[in-house]
Amino acid sequence: MNWSHKDLLDVSQLSREDVDVVMRTAASFREINTRPVKKVPTLKGKSVVLFFAEPSTRTKTSFDIAAKRLSADTFGLAKSGSSLQKGETLKDTVLTLQAMNPDAIVIRHPSSGAADFVGKRVSCAVINAGDGWHAHPTQALLDLFTLHGVWNTLAGKTVVILGDVAHSRVARSNCRLLPMLGARVRLCAPRTLLPKDAAALDAEVFHDLDAALVGADAVMCLRLQLERQEAGLLPDLREYARRFCLTTQRLSRANPDVKVLHPGPINRGVEIASDLADAGNSLILDQVSSGVAVRMAILYLHITRKDKGE
């Protein structure tokens, strides 16, 4: 499959054809994850650095598993165990990594634009695993892949993104990706948790959850990112949960076969009721499974592109 991108920084750089390539490649790798022996030699001899300057469970682990199932070697680097903690600049850290000649660097960083900064300074592939509030392209792609497993097409589907949109790179990437495939996106949040550029996003904005849910085909709940928020954006968690926690009763306003998603980690009883997170229409664990297949596809496409010298 032809792939022209050195790095994956945001979904905005992808065409509809690129997205189709990722979906088809992920589908071809999904079967590997169901085998008794979950490993193929596709990237044998290749090396992937997992550079996570922010805590992560799902993203880091799924990239690690994805690379290893393709037989690549992985090397983990966290801020707490690196010279960043000693005052080394991000530039010097990545130039040091580049000198070790990896085939790809997967980076998560608290600063928006960090992945782009790194991509311009190294010759290997750079995969953005989340940079500040800016973007989380592989999460949006795995969300799309998960919904593709339910629907043949997203055309005409309505997806509600609910919660802390202002601080969510997941919401921003999904607002760019899902409309490309024909979905209608609604954002629902308190006014204080909507970004200043909300009007520029390809989405309809709601402040009333009951109204936002009418006719919805899927609802994506977002975690309240209290670590990124300024004081005073919310009166308290109880009041937020009263108005914006997704419950079975509230979800009855949506379409009968509505699906529920959450990028994790989940704060049960705050963003989503515990019984709903575990219900039959919840795709939360499907998203985790999809993440491995999609990240296998992303690593394969970017590393083999480097081999071909395109």
Q: Is 186 annotated as a binding residue?
A: no
In this structure, are residues 240 and 270 in contact, taking their beta carbons and an 8 Å threshold?
yes
DSSP letters, 71-113, are T-EEEEEEGGGSGGGGT--HHHHHHHHHHT--SEEEEEESSTT
Q: Is 295 annotated as a binding residue?
A: no
Q: Is 136 annotated as a binding residue?
A: yes
Q: Is 113 annotated as a binding residue?
A: no
Q: Which amino acid is at 40?
A: V
Residues 100 and 132: their CA atoms lie apart, in Å, by: 26
Both tokens of 248, joined, read 């079975």
Residue 138: closest CA among 306, 305, 308, 293: 293
Residue 91: closest CA among 118, 128, 109: 118
Q: Is 169 annotated as a binding residue?
A: yes
Burial class from Cβ neighbours inside 10 Å (0-12, 13-18, 19+) for residue 181 reads middle
Residue 187: closest CA among 229, 154, 216: 216
Q: Is 44 annotated as a binding residue?
A: no
56 Cβ contact partners less than 8 Å away, ≥ 6 residues apart: 108, 129, 130
Q: Is 139 annotated as a binding residue?
A: yes
Q: Is 223 annotated as a binding residue?
A: yes
Strands 158-162 and 218-221: parallel
Torsion-angle region of residue 290: left (phi > 0), alpha (psi -120 to 50) or beta?
alpha
Q: Is 108 annotated as a binding residue?
A: yes
Residue numbers belonging to the annotated binding site:
58-59, 86, 108, 136, 139, 169, 223, 264-265
Residue numbers belonging to the annotated binding site for carbamoyl phosphate:
58-59, 108, 136, 139, 264-265
Residue numbers belonging to the annotated binding site for L-aspartate:
86, 169, 223
